[in-house]
Amino acid sequence: MSRLGRLPIKIPEKTEAKIADGFIIIKGPKGELRQEINKTVTVEIVDQEIKLSVKNLLDKKEKALWGLFWNLIRNMIIGVTAGYEKKLEIVGVGFKASLGGNKLNLSLGFSHPVIFDLPSGITASVDANIITISGFDKQLVGETAAQIRKLKRPEPYKGKGIRYLNEVIRRKEGKAAAKTKQ
């Protein structure tokens, strides 16, 4: 039995939830999210609570889907009420970022500036060398942050590049360190 799946999800004030055509739709102050529901998972809305269940408790796949959809719906409710954010740090001499409308202009040591178009529903802010990506869809916030990080991954020798805030980069010794050992 799924430990999380059997817990009801409370719907906060100013947030609406409804089920229509195999989708669950959550609407809140920050926006609206939709998620298709698998046929093996049953979703019911009762007294400002969402309850999930599955038909066959002996099937491992169904139990896994039960917990998955519980977590997806909970993330949707948190997203439309509070939102999500990821912070990226730019490390390197001359590496910088600026925001121009819905585009992120990055100078990452290439011969040209890199322009990243932000998807709809995502906002960004730049403060010195910290880029903050925020939005109400957790999956979209994480994917956007990963795509920005992929533009210039941190390298293992000096650590230059774009990394998540507080991410630890494993460092390697350079060639000069090998010569001094002899």
**What are the tens digits of pLDDT across the range 59-107?**
889 889 999 999 999 999 999 999 999 999 999 999 999 999 899 999 9
| Range(s) of the domain holding residue 133 | 84-164
Amino acid at 171: R
Residues 71 and 32 occupy one common structural domain: yes
Q: Strands of 32-36's sheet, edge to edge? A: 16-20, 23-27, 32-36
Residues 108 and 72 occupy one common structural domain: no
Q: What gap in Å lies between CA 117 and CA 124, rounded to an integer?
A: 11
Residues 104 and 150 occupy one common structural domain: yes
**How high is the pLDDT of residue 176?**
73
Residues 72 and 91 occupy one common structural domain: no
**Domain at 148, CATH number:** 3.90.930.12
Residues 112 and 146 occupy one common structural domain: yes
Number of domains in the chain: 2
**What are the tens digits of pLDDT across the range 142-155?**
999 999 999 999 99
**Is 171 domain-assigned?**
no
Q: What letters, b where the CB count within 10 A reaches 16 and e where it falls short, cover 77-110?
A: bbbbbebbebebbbbbeebebeeeeeebebebee
Neighbours of 47 (CB within 10 A): 8
